[in-house]
Amino acid sequence: MKNGKIALVRVEGVKKYFPIHSGILRREIGAVKAVDGVSFEIYEGETLGLVGESGGGKSTLGRTILQLHKPTEGTIYFEGQDLGSLSKDELRRTRARMQIIFQDPYSSLNPRMTVEAIVSEPLAVHKIGNQNERRARVDELLDRVGLNPAFANRFPHEFSGGQRQRIGVARALALNPSFIVADEPISALDVSIQAQVVNLLEDLQDSLNLTYLFIAHDLSMVRHICDRVAVMYLGKIVELGPTEEIYNNPQHPYTQALLSAVPVPDPSVEERRQRIILKGEVPNPANPPVGCNFNTRCPVAFDPCFVEDPELKELLPLHHISCYYAENELVGNT
């Protein structure tokens, strides 16, 4: 518990490396460091936004939290339980309270299954209810996500992208979870549909007391829906804090560059705004830079940045930053 809030999910020093094999004998010659030492908490009833460039490790982190990927190192706690210490049966029962909404509504639904079969599958896997009770639950879930229960016997190809994502949401809700990883749930949808799905997620959170990890590229939408934001770069969290604090007072150079790219709807403000253009490409996660991961593209990097990776520290109230330059500016170290 911190500041009166209960941590539903706690991530401590989590790493997820994918081995690289080569040669006839498939020897391991290295590893892709997709998630490289991440620690944070997600509090009950909140939405934590996770943002950053593609390939930064966001989706891998979300799936590792759910144990879809086993962490290479570190510990993940859910409702106070160390998920890594649970047996298969215990983890299976715990997974009922942790669900995921996938990014692509077109590939995440089995085209050979009806909507009823898709939404009721979690109930069947966990042996909940008989056939009639499951059908009634499917009707209830479809109605809750704004779909006509009469559509239950249709197949995914008969629905639009937005409707398919609603089916995915209904499936995620089937077992009454308390925590949902929303892995870029709106990025594959038309702009006109995105707001509808986000409003649905907010309504469900209020009525069911859900906790979200909301992974996204759309920084404007993250500002709208999230209570706190974590900025991820090359497998590490570089900045974490309350949403308005991050957007109004970004301290890490990477966060500043990300936010400078967000369009402002006021033309006069947009004209005067200065964009921060980062040079170079994101380094290879199999061979990250020595020191700070961002030092190859950072406009303010200085000597310590090339020696040791900075820690994520609370340099402002509730505002955590992993940056020697920001620490120097805020704390006044010389």
Confidence (pLDDT) at 4? 63
Output the furthest CA–CA distance in the chain (Å, rounded). Answer: 70
Residues 115 and 152 sit within 8 Å (Cβ to Cβ): yes
Q: What is the pTM of this model?
A: 0.92
- Give DSSP secondary structure letters for 212-259: EEEE-S-HHHHHHH-SEEEEEETTEEEEEEEHHHHHHS--SHHHHHHH
Q: Where do the H-state alpha helices sit in 75-125?
A: 88-95, 115-125
Strand-pairing partners, residue 50, are: 215, 230
Q: Specify the length of the chain in residues.
A: 334
CATH superfamily of 7-97+177-331: P-loop containing nucleotide triphosphate hydrolases (3.40.50.300)
Tell me: the pLDDT tens digits for 11-56? 999 999 999 998 888 888 899 999 999 999 999 999 999 999 888 9
Of the candidates 289, 295, 284, 281, the one whose C-alpha atom is nearest the C-alpha of residue 323 is 295
pLDDT of 262 reads 78
HSE at residue 130, side-chain half, CA atoms within 13 A, is: 1
Structure confidence by residue, pLDDT tens digits, 52-72: 988 899 999 999 999 999 999
H-type alpha helices, 174-252: 191-208, 219-225, 243-248
Query: Over 80: is that where the pLDDT of 2 sits?
Result: no
What CA–CA distance (Å, rounded) separates 309 from 294? 10
The closest alpha carbon to 96, from 74, 49, 69, 128, belongs to 128
Are 3 and 24 spatial neighbours (Cβ–Cβ below 8 Å)? no
Task: Give the Cα separation of 241 and 236 in Å (integer).
Answer: 15
For residues 160 and 164, give the distance between their C-alpha atoms in angstroms, rounded to a whole number.
Answer: 6
Convert the pLDDT of each residue in 68-105 to its tens digit: 999 999 999 999 999 999 999 999 999 999 999 998 88
- Mean pLDDT score of the chain, rounded to an integer? 92
Q: Taking the C-alpha atoms of 107, 111, 113 and 118 in order, what is their torsion angle to the nearest 10 degrees?
A: 20
The domain segmentation of the chain, as residue ranges, is: 7-97+177-331
What is the Cα–Cα distance from 254 to 160, expressed in whole angstroms? 36
Residue 276's CB is within 10 A of a number of other CB atoms, namely 13
Residue matched to tokens 């936010």: 259
What amino acid occupies position 160?
S
Q: Could you give the CA distance from residue 235 to residue 110 in angstroms, rounded to a whole number? A: 31
Span 155-208, pLDDT tens digits: 999 999 999 999 999 999 999 999 999 999 988 788 888 889 999 999 999 999
Strand, coil or helix: what is 329? helix
Interval 132-143: pLDDT, tens: 999 999 999 999
